[in-house]
Structure formats: structure tokens, C-alpha cells
Chain A
Amino acid sequence: AQKVTQAQTEISVVEKEDVTLDCVYETRDTTYYLFWYKQPPSGELVFLIRRNSFDEQNEISGRYSWNFQKSTSSFNFTITASQVVDSAVYFCALTFGNQGGKLIFGQGTELSVKP
């Protein structure tokens, strides 16, 4: 079965703290893609990153970094020095090479960054 689990339903931090959002996936496919999307209070879904199953390099983009580990089927997302504008719901998602691009989403993690 293909599945994405985001065990953290809600996280609350104080501004400038670092925070890690967990994502664990299940799949038997060897070719797959993992994504993170951000949904701010305004409601739209914003693409953050895509990683394919053959590329285990970690990635850093400004205050955002992603750690992909096939050995633990995890694709965790860390925000360094969090800011109030980071407050949003974050979704991890999975798709496969032969599934018409359909995304399987996790339940989402609601991050609240307090000043």
C-alpha cells in the first residue's frame, strides 16, 4: 500500500526556534517522487520541493532544509529560525512513475509560530 504519514498534527513554536516536520512514507515502487507543499491561512497550496527516489541528497533553500532517507522511508522538513510568516499547514505528498501523477497526501501538520 502507498501511504504518507505525518504524525504531528499540530506544532507550536516561538519565533526563532528551529522546527522539524516529520514525514514517513510507504511504497513498494522503486521510482517515486516526494513533495512538500505549504498551505498558508489564505488557503492556497504552494509547492516547496520535489525529490525523486534516486536522489538522496539533502537540500537547503534559505531557512528551509529537507532530509531524505530511503533507509527509514522518511522525508523530513526543517525550518531554521522560524518566523511568524511560516505559520501554515504543511503537507508531504507522494507520487509514482506509473500512476498518472496522482498525489497521495499526508494528513498535514499545522505549524504555529508565535512572536
Chain B
Amino acid sequence: NAGVTQTPKFRVLKTGQSMTLLCAQDMNHEYMYWYRQDPGMGLRLIHYSVGEGTTAKGEVPDGYNVSRLKKQNFLLGLESAAPSQTSVYFCASSYSIGGKGKNIQYFGAGTRLSVL
């Protein structure tokens, strides 16, 4: 019953460093998403993917890149981390739109990232 797994759970970076967050899901979901959560702002969509090999920008994509080489994995990259990217990052997955219960997004446990 793994569901959506995010690694790592915590990370501290220095300004300018790079890193990749990994999201893996075992529910055979077509859609995957990366959100960031900041105090008082709810969750905001960074990038998303509607299938293997496809990605699209969300509400706050600047400073991030993503890749979906395999259906079960969705990677979020920070090429040059900035203090403004200090946040909690959540990955989610869902079936495609339509059908009963098919667009419910299931979330990972989150990654807490601090950029100093």
C-alpha cells in the first residue's frame, strides 16, 4: 500500500545548489503533479504531467524543471536553488478525468526543503 512516495523527506541546500526531488506512484495513474505549500497560500501547482513523456507548466513554474520518463515516476528539479524556493513540496497523482472517483488526487507525504 505504498501509494505516492516522495524522496527525500527533508533537505537543506545552499543558494545556487541543485537537487532533484523524486516522486513515485504505484497506482498506475496517468496524471502526476508537483505542488508547493507556503504559509497562508494553500498549495500551488508547479508543473504537471498527463502521461509518460509529457509535462506542462502550472501556476508557479519558474525556477523548476520536471521530467516524466516513466509512467510511475515524476521528477522535480531545481537547477540553482534560491531562498524563495524554501517550501514544502507535495507530489500527487490521479487517474485521468472522467468516471466515478477518477480525478481524485492522492498525495505523497511531502518534502521539506530549506534553501539558505
Contact = CB atoms under 8 A, between A and B. Distances in A.
B109 interface: yes
Contacts, number: 64
Nearest to B96: A101
Given A91-B42, A91-B43, A108-B42, A101 B105 contact: yes
Given A43-B88, A44-B110, A101 B103 contact: yes
Interface in A82-110: 91, 93, 95, 97-98, 100-103, 105-108
A88 to B, nearest CB: 14
Chain B, interface residues (CB within 8 Å), range: 20 to 34
A24 to B, nearest CB: 14
Contacts of A98: 97
Interface of B: 31, 33, 35, 40-45, 48, 50, 56, 58, 88, 90, 92, 94, 96-97, 101, 103-110
9 contacts: A4-B42, A43-B109, A47-B105, A50-B101, A98-B97, A100-B97, A101-B48, A101-B105, A108-B42
